[in-house]
Amino acid sequence: MRESKYIEEIPLNHRKDYGQFFTPPLVARLMATWVMKDDPKTILDPAFGLGVFYDEVKNLNPNNQIMFTGYEIDPHILDYLDHNIIDPGLRIINSDYLEVETGRFDSIICNPPYMRFQKFLKRHDILPRIEEKIGKKLVGYSNISSVFLVKSLKELKTGGNLAYIMPFEFFNAGYGKEIKKCLLENHLLKQIIIFSNEKEIFPDATTTVCVLLCKNDGKDEAIKITAIKENEEIDKISDASNFYQKEIFSSDLPYNKKWTPIILSLFSEEKFPNDFCKFSLYGTFTRGIATGANDFFALTKSKIEKWKLDENNICKCITKSYQIRKAVFTEYDFDKLYSTDKPVYCLDVKDHKKQEIQQYINEGEKRGYHERYLTKTRNTWYKIESRKPAPILFGVFNRGRLKVIRNFTTAINFTCFHSFYPNIFGQQLVNKLFVYLLSDIGQRIIKTNKRSYGDELDKFEPGDLNESLCPNQKQFEEIDNEDAEKVIELAKIDEEKAIKISNDLINEIIDTSEIVLPDRYPIAILSGS
């Protein structure tokens, strides 16, 4: 197969740079069946790749005269196409779809590239043009797949069908709001297909995906939700529009709300105590410090000594998630990292006139750190934002148990962790909040607000955590301060026992019978979300 040869010969880094992962033929056939429903004369594939959608269209209609246009930015992948293809109806253009004016098409089918828009070098030129065309403002940190989708929706003819593979996170992320609004207001979205066995169907996917089926007919009708459980099931589906388990009206899918919980609640019940409150009642989760040049700002003991950087111009800082391996982080733990030359300090310039500091800054400029995206937007490129140490740190990415840290050091942190800063209501409850976050029931409840990626990888944004539910003040008052402190002391040496005691303490203050959390959702990778 062309795909096997391409994956074998082309380095993973190259495929990641282009956001490439391949569509299984069974899924491609399902999508092709949708776009072929109304006998289209023109079909567009904005990310042609190895041409799996073209193959399936031709298999479905070998004698049909269709003009199939494919755009592909990567010239290397085109070398792996079957050069024996002789089809006057096929036009492959080696160009960036986002940069071209394509016209309009009867049908559009696509598995777009998956990468953050920040990594797309031409984004500053292209994004304004797309925003002008669609008449909507797109958030600059969109996944590039969402930009592909909004452009394609504008290029779909009236009555036309569109099938798109999309990252499931777009349903929950801020950048997805305007796109969801467009899908709903124009009555474009007709069906969402999700996969219970995603790793079997999409083994190379780096994020949880779904298939959107759209039609530009202006009809306000129920949106069908399909959960596919196994490969064999796909092969038996002759018409996706006739295979679904649930329906939901657009009025029950607010564009400014997260769709994942709403969609999954159709399959599994969720119930929380009525007296729970949001975490934001007690304080705020905030992103860690984004330096834009971690190699420059993160400092080891040897680097500090080499450049003779004084204490007034550096500060303690957790720069990588793996540096903290236990649920409680102390000054002893910090000193151990520092003595083994781990990068646990950060440049924090207070006196830029000092000779040693100026020399280090000059070295950074020689290496071009001041010309990076974030650094060049600052008034003073080497000045980081002012932060205080946070008493609770929360891992941005997690597999399995969520990484929650009770921080007893004066270290700030980079973006590997979110920082929780308590307000006046939360200052006296920090230890108890930590106990809740450490407990199994707390983790399961927090996970209902997560974003899920491939390979059981969960991600949280600060807003996800601030919106998460937890016990109210009266409930927390029922936990004795000394008991919470015992959990913390125990977590230093035996985290499993600390979790067990946390479970006991939380079970004493809440009625667990009021909580319903399904053991399994229709999307395996999104379990608990």
Q: How far apart are CA 347 and CA 359, in angstroms?
A: 13
Amino acid, single-letter form, for residue 132: E
Residue 128 confidence (pLDDT) above 60: yes
- Residue 177: what pLDDT? 85
Residues above pLDDT 90, as percent of the chain: 56
Residue 487: what are its φ and ψ, rounded to 5°?
-60, -45
Q: For the ranges 151-155, 396-400, 519-523, which has the lowest average pLDDT?
A: 519-523
Rounded to an integer, the average pLDDT of 107-136 is 68
- Residue 478: what pLDDT? 94
- Residue 107: what pLDDT? 97
Q: For the ranges 116-130, 256-270, 334-348, 383-397, which has the lowest average pLDDT?
A: 116-130
- Residue 232: what pLDDT? 74
Tens-place pLDDT, residues 194-230: 886 666 666 665 567 889 999 999 999 999 999 887 7
Q: For the whole model, what pTM was predicted?
A: 0.64
- Residue 113: what pLDDT? 85
- Residue 175: what pLDDT? 74
The DSSP code for 454 is: S
Residue 392: what are its φ and ψ, rounded to 5°?
-130, 130
Residue 83 confidence (pLDDT) above 60: no
Tens-place pLDDT, residues 374-420: 999 899 999 999 999 999 999 998 888 999 999 999 999 999 999 99
Residue 97: CB atoms within 10 A of its CB come to 24
Per-residue confidence band for 520, with pLDDT thresholds at 50, 70 and 90 = very low
CA dist list (Å): 53 to 21, 58, 194, 403: 14, 9, 19, 41
Rounded to an integer, the average pLDDT of 456-481 is 90
Residue 525 confidence (pLDDT) above 50: no
- Residue 54: what pLDDT? 93
* 268-286+388-529 fold: Adenine-n6-DNA-methyltransferase TaqI; Chain A, domain 2 (3.90.220)
Strand partners, 165: 211
Please tell me which residue, 163 or 238, carries the higher pLDDT value. Answer: 163
Nearest Cα to Cα of residue 51 among 41, 42, 43, 40: 43
Per-residue confidence band for 49, with pLDDT thresholds at 50, 70 and 90 = confident
Tens-place pLDDT, residues 429-443: 999 999 999 999 999
The answer regarding whether domain 2-265 maps to CATH 1.10.3720.10 reads no
Token pair for 418:
């979110």
Per-residue confidence band for 516, with pLDDT thresholds at 50, 70 and 90 = low
Dihedral angle, C-alpha 80, 86, 90, 91, nearest 10 °:
70
- Residue 63: what pLDDT? 73
Chain centre to alpha carbon of residue 37: 33
Helix, strand, coil share of the chain (percent; to 5): 40, 20, 40
